[in-house]
Amino acid sequence: MVEARESNAVLEMKESTGSLLSVQDLRVWFELRQFGFGHAGYVHAVDGVSFELAHGEAIAVVGESGCGKSSLMKAILALYKPTKGDIVFDDKKFSEFDTTIMRWFRSQVGFVQQDPYGALAPFMNVRRILEEPLIVGGIKDKLERERRVRKVMDEVKLHPVEDYWDKFPHMLSGGQQQRVVIARAMIMEPKLLVADEPVSMLDASVRVEILKLLRGLQQEHHLTVIYITHDLATVSYFSERIFVMYAGMIVEKASVDNLLQNPKHPYTYALLQGTSDPDANNALSFKEVPPGEPPSLITPPTGCRFHPRCPKIITGLCEFQEPPEFEPDKGHYVSCWLYK
Amino acid sequence: MTDEKALLHIEKLVLYFNTRSGPVQAVDGVDFSLDTNKAVVIVGESGCGKSSLAKAILRLLPRNAGTYSGKIFLEGQDVMLLDDEEYRQNIRWAAISMVPQAAMNALNPVIRVGEQVAEPAIVHLGVNKTDALSLVKKMFQHVGVPEGFISRYPFELSGGMRQRVAIAMALVTSPNLIILDEPTSALDVLTQANIFNVLKRIKKELGTSYILITHDIATSSELADDVAVMYAGQIVERGDAFRFFAQPLHPYSSALMASVPTLRGKKMLDFIIGQPPSLINPPTGCRFAPRCPSRFEKCDQDPPVIEKEDRKVRCWLYA
Amino acid sequence: MTVLKRNLRELIRYPSAIIGIVIILLLLFVAVYALVTIPYSEAVGKWAGGEAVWYQNPKYAAPAWYNWFTSKKQPVSFLVKTADGSMKKTVTPSDQDISTMDIEYSFDYQYDSPPQELTTYIYATFADKFPFTSISWVTPDNRTIRIADYQTDHKLVVRFSQEPKLQKRLKTDQVMAALFQDPKSKEPKILKGTYRLVMTSTTFEKNSDVNVELVLHGDLFGWAGTDLYRRDLLLPLLYGTPIALAFGLFAALGTSLLTMIIAAVGTWYAGWVDELIQRITEINLVLPFLAILIMVGTFYSRSIWLMLGLTIILSIFSGTIKSYRAIFMQSKESSYIEAARAYGAKNSRIIFSYLIPRMVPLLIPALVSSVPSYVFLEASLAVLGLGDPVLPTWGKIIESAESDGALYRGLYYWVLEPAVLLMITGLGFAMLGFALDRIFNPRLRDI
């Protein structure tokens, strides 16, 4: 484990809350630069997201492109600075991070990316790729680094290790490349793993392999995992809870079974309807799809952001007021006026 | 699926590419037929040769194309016998058109979408520009693109809209058959559902036939009347959709179905070990044998195509 | 290493690459040879010239191999001396400390015109008593012509065509023509055959010695000819090779590397750093490059190192920065850079270990292709009179040729020799650069 000195101020504020990650009304806005010095408004990529993650929990964040899930993920990874709101990791607030804590934080979070080939530097061999986080993290002992590289390559089942660690990324298959990406994310023995569409660029038969690998690692190391995807069909194989995002906000949170069997938000319902299973009956009927498209994040709709497309809109209410979070069933949260 | 009824009937289609490492046998003796107003889905993973099959049917051959042979019967006439210029004028985009992979990125960024969609009509149907544009408006209606978008540029449209424009472009000459190569792979769930709705409606209203090429088995069921599974340049199974999705015959098809996560109904996921063979030197015998769980001695020989209750499968298990 | 081998194997598929590599290797070989055989001080000293250094060469002599292309053969200069044994000397001591030295040199003369001059340099060592030397000339048809008799001083120079007694004896002041004339023919025709120069020196002291150098000034000389200062052009041609290559390579390397680093730093940090670099570049693009070099050379110093440094500085902020910047901006968004930020890599590490190595394939062909322009730059500066004051370079040859009106005089070799070398250098690097470009470029499409 990388050693870090926790600053005194933070030690004083430590109250154990039991959750590893706590996101509090997070907003991430990007300035639109206008020609010159003004700005033409903000892109409200993440606009008020709050949730808590317990240690060892695996959640899926689901949504279509442009819903803000990537920006949310990058804010959690401390790659974007929150515009408003805060993130608390292991009882330490992001807003109070100094460089030492930031360095410690980076060793606690692993990042698995979508594009396995792009995520690996093409001019470095596997060994060097895996050693980089260790070197950056301050592990100077060469033998120790080698030991860790071996261990992690073993865990992602890239063995015999010697066969792989001299290879360059283009010599590996897509699945093998993704294993290297996962190995790199795991090598600092993190507590939290963020996986952004980790299998969407892989072949169908390889996806299952990688998903099983990730699930196995998660269970073995009691990792907290945030799994971001647009493929609803995979979530039941991977996570316990699902968050559904739309236009920068989370519209529904529930356990996997509850959400799949009893979706409450109209958007969630539409997503589930839109996802196909291999069933020949599909060809016989049309799907119900909400009209229109996801809204612009620069000037999002007033009130509930889904209201222009919602089949169950309550006129007079949904257009003007943003719904708060309701809890119609235990552990099942919805931001929709239908459940007032 | 007899020859007479078939809109398209392909026999022993072969397409090899020349590369520095040797000939890539991308399409290695493919046979299949397609009736009018029906959709066949060609399912396979990357590198199985399905995109090359589309190119072979449309004769869109790259510079390093080597062997190209076989018979392509379109409404009874063998179009392989036509020369390239006749093919371009009468077949390509007149009888068969295509929505290529990542079509939304294949739109010319400096020409307005209306003009782009009108172009095939002007070239193949010989209509003047005004008539072509009214055709475009009709097509936009079919695919669900607002009329006002005719004067827009591609970058002003979302991904889903652009894909619909690409479909309109394939439709504008009223072809009998459209080949779609991964039409929705880069699109979101709801947009994908929309596009399939469009395709289904067009099939109903205009009587078009489809060849849908994809690796996504789940969404392929939205359109499929028949399913063909491709592996290592060959079609290993062919049959109607209902029986295929209920019970696939070929071990590769079963393995593929088993590796698809389903939303409804929890099932055990399984994956296939190993990798597809290289198309440069395909192995002798059954090409799936090295990875097949049901392999036995006979598999060292190339299996023939066996017909079982109107379904075709290339596997010794059914001999 | 395997990457290198793989690239090399691909490179060899292109004939242009092979030609380029061969040319460059030849040039390198010549450069190393020149540096090894001619020490720096000797090169500079010899190039500074002076009568004492180059006296044995004719002026404006074309290279000896001109005779291969002409039907009328012109005489080639040579120099022989007793001191190194190329001229035979036999010492016959007599009684009373008197010694007779017989010095002889015979040579075959097959040329169609007489030489410009025949000179003997006689060096005598003695204390009081002057040795006495007499010089004779023996023609192939065995006529002996007495050239001169002298009391020999420490250094005695006998120029045959200026000997008054010889002129009288031959009844003409065209001594050279007369010495080599065929007496039997009515029109001027050279008698070809073996001529002999015979010298007899008598010394009157015990330790007195006489050494002789015989110089024949023909119309041709050596491998490269001579210039107006009688300097053998082979020296600057040889020695100019390492200078040209060094200037070209250093300038190309320095500029390319620094351009890339600055582009990377600017793109990564963005903000005011990027803006500053872009503005400096834009201003620099407008500045007149050659004019600045000329100014500095005229008013300050013409040292080649200064010129090299200035060239690099002015070349870094060029349009290439903008094209590198465009590529870096794309690379910046790559997934692996994002991953590096996520595991906490420092900015300097990202720039130097992750971004720049990605660009090296882009750098190599550009670097190789830019070497010729720097080699030509150095030559151009020399032609303009701003070359390094002491070093013998190709540009210097052209400069002296130009100021002496070589082309008007028909002394084509003087201009063509350095020009051809410059062209070959340019060709070699350009061909290799193009071939490299073809190899590395396809891979750049997935940046």
Q: Which pLDDT value is given to residue B174?
A: 86
A129/chain C closest Cα distance in angstroms: 10
The whole-number pLDDT of residue C66 equals 81
Give A165→chain B minimum CA distance, Å.
20
pLDDT digits (tens, 9 = 90+) for C183-209: 887 787 888 888 888 888 888 887 788
Q: Tokens representing B188?
A: 């979101």
State ipTM.
Answer: 0.82
The minimal CB distance from C344 to the residues A103, A113, A184 is found for A103
CATH class of C2-43+233-446: mainly alpha
Residues A123 and C26: their CA atoms lie apart, in Å, by 33
Contacts of B242 in chain A (CB under 8 A): 280
> What is the average per-residue pLDDT within C123-141?
86
Token pair of B178 as six digits: 């459209």
- Mean pLDDT (whole number) for C391-414: 87
Chain A residues lying within 8 Å of C338, measured CB to CB: 79, 111, 113, 119
CA dist B33 and B315 (Å) reads: 20
pLDDT digits (tens, 9 = 90+) for C136-177: 888 888 888 888 888 888 888 888 888 888 888 888 888 888
**Is residue B138 one of the residues assigned to a domain?**
no
CATH architecture of C64-217: Sandwich (2.60)
- Asked if A128 has any chain C CB less than 8 Å from its own CB, the reply is no
Beta carbons of A183 and A130 less than 8 angstroms apart: yes
Record the tokens describing residue C219, joined without a space. Answer: 């119309």
pLDDT of residue A1: 35
Residue appearing with tokens 């130097």: C352
- Domain segments of chain C as ranges: 2-43+233-446, 64-217
Q: Which of B62, B88, B94 is nearest to B75 (CA)?
A: B94
Inform me whether the pLDDT recorded for C406 exceeds 90: no
| Radius of gyration, CA atoms only, chain A | 21
**What average pLDDT is seen over chain C?**
85
pLDDT < 70: residue spans in chain B: 1-5, 265-266
Nearest-5° Cα angle at A76, A73 to A80: 85
Contact C344 A77 (CB under 8 A): no
The token pair at B87 is 């093919």
Return the bridge partners of A24, or none: A86
Q: Is residue B298 part of a domain?
A: no
pLDDT at B209: 92
Tell me the pLDDT tens digit for each residue of C246-272.
999 999 999 999 999 999 999 998 888
Instruction: Name the DSSP class of C226.
Output: B
The C-alpha of B93 sits at a distance from chain A's nearest C-alpha, in angstroms, of: 26
For the cut 70, the answer to whether the pLDDT of residue A168 exceeds it is: yes
Cβ atoms of C337 and A122 closer than 8 Å: no
Question: A123 — contact with chain C (CB < 8 Å)?
Answer: yes
- Total number of domains in chain B: 1
Question: Is residue B273 classed as helix, strand or coil in its secondary structure?
Answer: coil
Q: Is A109 on the interface with C (CB under 8 A)?
A: yes
Chains that touch B (3 or more CB pairs under 8 A): A
Residue corresponding to tokens 């030295």: C101
Half-sphere exposure of C386 (CA within 13 A, CB side): 22
Cβ contacts of A103 on chain C, cutoff 8 Å: 344
Q: Which two tokens stand for residue A196?
A: 């952004």
Residues 6 or more apart whose Cβ sits within 8 Å of residue A184:
A110, A129, A130, A132, A133, C339, C343
C-beta separation of B309 from B238 below 8 A: no
- Interhelix angle C234-269/C319-332, rounded to 10 degrees, is 40
Using a CB–CB cut-off of 8 Å, the residues of A that contact B are 64-65, 173, 203-209, 211-212, 230-234, 236-237, 260, 270-280, 282-283, 286-287, 289-290, 293
Instruction: Search chain A and give the residue with CA nearest B253.
Output: A205
Contact check, Cβ <8 Å, A271/B190: yes
At B275, is the secondary structure helix, strand, or coil?
coil
**pLDDT score at C140:** 86
Collect all residues of chain A within an 8 Å Cβ-Cβ radius of residue B37.
Answer: none
For residue A12, pLDDT over 80 is answered with: no
Which residue in A114, A120, A136 is closest to C344 by CB distance?
A: A136
Q: Is it the case that residue A17 has pLDDT exceeding 80?
A: no
Place of tokens 């399984």: B270
Residue reference for tokens 């999705």: B245
Q: Is residue B233 part of a domain?
A: yes
Domain membership of residue B135 (yes or no) is no
Please state which of the ranges A152-166, A174-188, C17-31, C56-70 shows the lowest mean pLDDT: C56-70
**What average pLDDT does this structure show over A238-266?**
91
Domain with residue B33: its CATH number is 3.40.50.300
Nearest CA in chain A to B270: A208
Q: Which of residues 176-205 of A touch C (CB under 8 A)?
A: 181, 184, 188
Closest chain C C-alpha to A298 CA, distance in angstroms: 22
Mean pLDDT of the residues in chain A: 86
Tell me whether chains C and A touch (3+ CB pairs under 8 A): yes
Mean per-residue pLDDT, C53-70: 80
CB contact under 8 A, B263 and A65: no
B and A touch with 3+ CB pairs <8 Å, answer: yes
Distance from CA of C246 to the nearest CA of A (A): 30
Helices (H), A97-224: 99-108, 126-136, 142-155, 161-164, 174-186, 204-221
Task: Say if B194 falls within a structural domain.
Answer: yes
DSSP state of B123: I
Question: What residue numbers bound the domain in which B87 lies?
Answer: 6-95+175-244
| Domain membership flag for residue B263 | no
Q: Best mutation site among B162, B190, B260 for testing chain A: the one with the most A CBs within 10 Å?
A: B190
Q: Are A289 and B193 inside 8 Å of each other by CB?
A: yes
Q: Per-residue pLDDT tens for A263-314?
A: 999 999 999 988 888 888 888 888 888 888 888 888 888 888 998 889 888 8
Determine the pLDDT at residue B40: 93
Q: Is A40 on the interface with C (CB under 8 A)?
A: no
What is the spatial distance between Cα A51 and Cα A243, in angstroms, rounded to a whole number? Answer: 9
Averaged over A327-334, what is the pLDDT? 90
What confidence category does residue C55 fall into, taking pLDDT thresholds of 50, 70 and 90? confident
Check A79 against C341: CB less than 8 A apart: yes
pLDDT tier, A233 (very low <50, low <70, confident <90, very high otherwise): confident
Contacts for A188 with CB less than 8 Å, ≥ 6 apart: A2, A106, A107, A108, A110, A133, A134, A137, C343
- Contact status of A107 with chain C (Cβ, < 8 Å): yes
Quick check: C10 pLDDT over 80?
Answer: no
In the stretch 242-281 of chain A, residues with CB closer than 8 A to chain C read none
Touch of C by B (3+ CB pairs closer than 8 Å): no
At residue A13, the pLDDT reads 39
C77 and C220 in contact (C-beta within 8 Å)?
Answer: yes
Cβ-based contacts of A70 with chain B (< 8 Å): none
Residue C347 burial class via C-beta count within 10 angstroms: exposed 0-12, middle 13-18, buried 19 and up: exposed
Q: Which residue among A208, A231, A273 sits closest to B269, beta carbon to beta carbon?
A: A208
Out of B159, B188, B223, closest to residue A283 by CB: B223
Residue in chain C lying closest to A136 (CA): C345
Q: Which of the four pLDDT bands, split at 50, 70 and 90, describes residue C74?
A: confident
pLDDT at A112: 93
Residue C444 touches chain A, beta carbons under 8 Å: no
pLDDT value of residue B4? 55
Specify the pLDDT at position C183: 80
For B98, the 3-state DSSP assignment is strand
The tens digit of pLDDT for each residue in C363-374 reads 888 899 899 999
The minimal CB distance from C338 to the residues A79, A122, A136 is found for A79
Burial class (CB in 10 A: 0-12, 13-18, 19+), A40: exposed
- Match 């309109």 to its residue by tokens: B168
Instruction: Give the closest of A114, A120, A136 to C343, CB-based.
Output: A136
What pTM was computed for the model? Answer: 0.80
The answer to whether C335 and C421 have CB atoms below 8 angstroms apart is no
Q: How many CB atoms within 10 Å of residue A46?
A: 31
Average pLDDT over every residue of C110-121 = 85
Q: Which residue of A has its CA nearest to B252?
A: A205
pLDDT of residue C447: 36
